[in-house]
């Protein structure tokens, strides 16, 4: 087997948090002992109950934070920090409010050292891709939530990273826009052979996009199960395939227990404070 | 730099606009009003009221009252001459060039102090804001100085620097420095960590991060400080000019009062009010221009 693009081994991430009961900082384990490989060119979707540590895991892969223990390898090399080889779409978009939609998309290109003319052209291309050609000169606060999300997607695609880390990138979109962007993303992925790690709360979306779906447990997040989405063919309407329903049901069942556990956790946390 | 992932504010909460130095009536101003302004200060009274048409209407009403009350002898016309008489006196001062000489003297001092304060404190504030431990360490001291009314230090300045231009410009520099410095620090410290994280994810080295994220994010807050400083530069100077000056609007007002040229005194006051208004309006426009991207709801 060839070398995985991303290799996560025994990764645990803890945060220091104030503890009301103890009155001093304590360690909070967000994800624990994560083991997963992402193959080069793979589309991996990641599902799990809210608060289980999906975004935390993405930050770790991005190199924005360091694990408390364990290792993360990118192309066999330990990750030392963030880099332009990985593009992130943050859950909260994180657009620069003083830059227009175009300016935001150009940001990554500037970081990469792309010349002014080509930046313009690329930005226009990707604005068009996400259906925002007419909004190039709008500031983020002049855009709707879904539009901002699309700008963030365009920004991460524009500088052409090998790995795309996407944190619920389509959450704020209407069904039609979401479907068309799902198509776009799949076609970009197929065309460019990028490796994609895609977090979502939508089981349908996870099955539809992912070659594999990784299911995380409730907090502290671990990988509970990895489901291979092995359709015989990806031609035609996947969602109408009988297997689609099976995958869907399988993941739904696995998640139900975790969500219940997560909710029990959170109630506990609230109870202990109040 | 701290682990930026520690904050998970939603994007909507970007630009939290922290401006601790943004309280419009700190001690220094109060002192000016109490000590140095014998009669009504038209600008101050007016600034608080309404806006747009209302504002003009209110000013007109105020001026009518100023005209009528002394004429009806409801107030002593010796101490408050009717507005028209003040206008005549103002014209005479303007035509003779006296008014311009004083205005020029004041403006040069104000602008020099203001410019020096900007040139010194913005870089300083950027550095202090960036190195959080340093800022946290110095913060109590900065608060202490900020709350020490500039005019309370005037005798110290005079003692050390004499009564010449140096001490006058210095006191303006001092008064202007604090709002700019504190706002710059707050601006740099208040940058949304998510934006820093977003820029860091692109592998930006620290100096690029500073240039491309911290600076633009801090600009509106810095400008708020500059605008406040602009107001202080005039307020403080006028008071300083009442002590041992031979020119300047503060001197004109004081001198006129001393020699009982009451209309001249009011002419000086009106001139200062107008300068203050114009200066503030200019800086406000500048501030707006640099913060159009800020959500202003
Ligand atoms: N900087 C931090 N400091 C302390 N705790 C944190 C921090 N970031 C995340 N956490 C905690 O870690 C856990 C995982 O958070 P994370 O954001 O990764 O969840 P998630 O799976 O992305 O949830 P969601 O689906 O709601 O986005 C949560 O319980 C959260 O409270
Ligand atoms: Mg998340």
Tens place of pLDDT for every residue, chain B, 297 residues? Answer: 333 333 333 333 333 334 444 443 333 333 333 334 445 555 555 555 555 667 788 889 999 999 999 999 888 888 999 999 999 999 999 999 999 999 999 999 999 999 999 999 999 999 998 888 888 888 888 888 888 888 888 889 889 988 888 999 999 999 999 999 999 999 999 899 999 999 999 888 888 899 999 999 999 999 999 999 999 999 898 888 888 788 999 999 999 999 999 999 999 999 999 999 999 999 988 888 887 777 643
What pLDDT is recorded for position B31? 36
- Tell me how crowded residue B179 is: count the other CB atoms within 10 A of its CB: 28
Contact A198, A225 (CB under 8 A): no
CA of A51 from ligand 2 middle (Å) equals 7
| Phi, psi for residue A237 in degrees, rounded to 5 | -85, 100
A62 interfacial to chain B (CB closer than 8 Å): yes
What pLDDT is recorded for position B69? 92
Show which of residues 268-287 on chain B sit within 8 Å of chain A, judged by CB atoms.
none
Q: Is A90 helix (H, G, I), strand (E, B) or coil?
A: coil
Confidence of residue A22 (pLDDT cuts 50, 70, 90): low
> Higher model confidence: residue B30 or residue A51?
A51
Least confident of A7-11, A258-262, B14-18, B167-171: B14-18
This complex has an ipTM of 0.85
Please answer yes or no on whether B198 and A94 come within 8 Å at the CB atom: yes
* DSSP assignments along A96-144, one per residue: -TTS-HHHHHHHHHHHHT--HHHHHHHHHHHHHHTT-GGGTT--GGGS-
| Residue B96 to residue B223: CA distance in whole angstroms | 38
Please answer yes or no on whether B201 and A86 come within 8 Å at the CB atom: yes
User: pLDDT tens, A199-250?
Assistant: 999 999 999 999 999 999 988 888 999 999 887 777 777 777 788 888 899 9
Instruction: Give the number of whichever ligand sits closest to the CA of residue B193.
Output: 1
CA distance B49 to chain A (A): 31
Please answer yes or no on whether B294 and A93 come within 8 Å at the CB atom: no
Best of A15, A95, A96, A171 to disrupt the B interface (most B CBs within 10 Å) is A96
B128 interfacial to chain A (CB closer than 8 Å): no
Tokens representing A10 are 């025994």
In terms of CA atoms, which chain B residue is nearest residue A85? Answer: B202
Please answer yes or no on whether A62 and B201 come within 8 Å at the CB atom: yes
User: Which domains are assigned to chain A?
Assistant: 6-85+164-172+181-273 (3.40.50.300), 91-160 (no CATH)
> Is the CB of A91 within 6 Å of ligand 1?
yes
> Is the CB of A260 within 6 Å of ligand 1?
no
User: Which domains are assigned to chain B?
Assistant: 3-80 (no CATH), 87-294 (1.10.3720.10)
pTM for the model stands at 0.77
Best of A68, A91, A93, A94 to disrupt the B interface (most B CBs within 10 Å) is A94
């Amino acid at each position: 087997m060839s070398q995985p693009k991303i290799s996560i081994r025994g990764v645990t991430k803890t945060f220091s948090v104030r503890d009301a009961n103890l009155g001093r900082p304590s360690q909070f384990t967000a994800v624990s002992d994560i083991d997963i490989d992402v193959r080069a060119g793979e589309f991996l979707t990641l599902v799990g109950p809210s608060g289980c540590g999906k975004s935390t895991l993405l930050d770790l892969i991005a190199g924005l934070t360091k694990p408390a223990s364990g290792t993360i390898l990118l192309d066999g090399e330990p990750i030392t920090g963030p880099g332009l080889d990985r593009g992130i779409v943050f859950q909260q978009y994180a657009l620069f409010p003083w830059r227009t939609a175009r300016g935001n998309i150009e940001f990554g290109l500037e970081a990469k050292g792309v010349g002014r003319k080509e930046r313009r052209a690329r930005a226009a291309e990707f604005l068009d891709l996400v259906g925002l050609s007419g909004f190039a000169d709008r500031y983020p606060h002049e855009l709707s939530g879904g539009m901002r999300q699309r700008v963030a997607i365009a920004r991460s695609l524009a500088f052409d990273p090998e790995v795309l880390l996407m944190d619920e990138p389509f959450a704020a979109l209407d069904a039609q826009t979401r479907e068309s962007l799902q198509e776009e993303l799949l076609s970009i992925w197929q065309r460019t052979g990028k490796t994609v790690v895609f977090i979502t709360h939508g089981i349908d979306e996870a099955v539809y996009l992912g070659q594999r779906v990784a299911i995380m447990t409730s907090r502290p997040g671990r990988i509970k199960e990895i489901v291979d989405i092995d359709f015989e063919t990806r031609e035609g309407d996947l969602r109408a395939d009988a297997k689609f329903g099976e995958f869907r049901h399988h993941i739904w069942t696995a998640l139900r227990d975790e969500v219940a556990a997560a909710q029990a956790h959170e109630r506990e946390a609230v109870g202990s404070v109040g | 730099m701290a682990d930026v992932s520690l904050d998970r504010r939603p994007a909507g909460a970007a630009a939290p606009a922290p401006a601790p130095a943004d309280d419009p009536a700190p001690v220094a101003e109060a002192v000016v009003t109490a000590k140095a302004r014998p009669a009504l200060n038209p600008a101050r009274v007016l600034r608080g009221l309404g806006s747009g048409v209302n504002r003009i209407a209110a000013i007109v009403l105020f001026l009518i009252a100023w005209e009528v009350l002394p004429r009806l002898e409801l107030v002593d016309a010796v101490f408050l001459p009717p507005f028209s008489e003040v206008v005549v006196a103002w014209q005479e001062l303007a035509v003779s060039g006296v008014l311009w000489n004083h205005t020029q003297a004041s403006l040069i001092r104000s602008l020099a102090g203001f410019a020096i304060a900007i040139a010194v404190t913005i870089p300083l504030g950027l550095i202090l804001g960036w190195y959080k431990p340093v800022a946290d360490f110095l913060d109590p001291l900065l608060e202490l100085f900020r709350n020490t009314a500039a005019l309370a230090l005037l005798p110290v300045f005079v003692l050390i620097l004499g009564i010449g231009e140096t001490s006058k410009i210095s006191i303006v520099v001092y008064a202007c420095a604090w709002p700019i410095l504190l706002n710059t620090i707050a601006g740099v410290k208040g940058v949304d960590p998510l934006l820093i994280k977003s820029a860091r994810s692109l592998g930006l080295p620290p100096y690029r991060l500073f240039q491309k994220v911290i600076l633009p994010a801090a600009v509106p807050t810095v400008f708020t400080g500059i605008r406040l400083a602009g107001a202080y530069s005039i307020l403080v100077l006028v008071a300083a000019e009442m002590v041992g000056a031979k020119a300047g609007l503060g001197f004109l007002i004081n001198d006129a009062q001393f020699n009982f040229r009451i209309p001249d005194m009011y002419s000086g006051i009106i001139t200062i009010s107008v300068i203050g208004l114009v200066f503030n309006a200019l800086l406000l426009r500048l501030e707006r221009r640099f913060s159009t991207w800020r959500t202003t709801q």
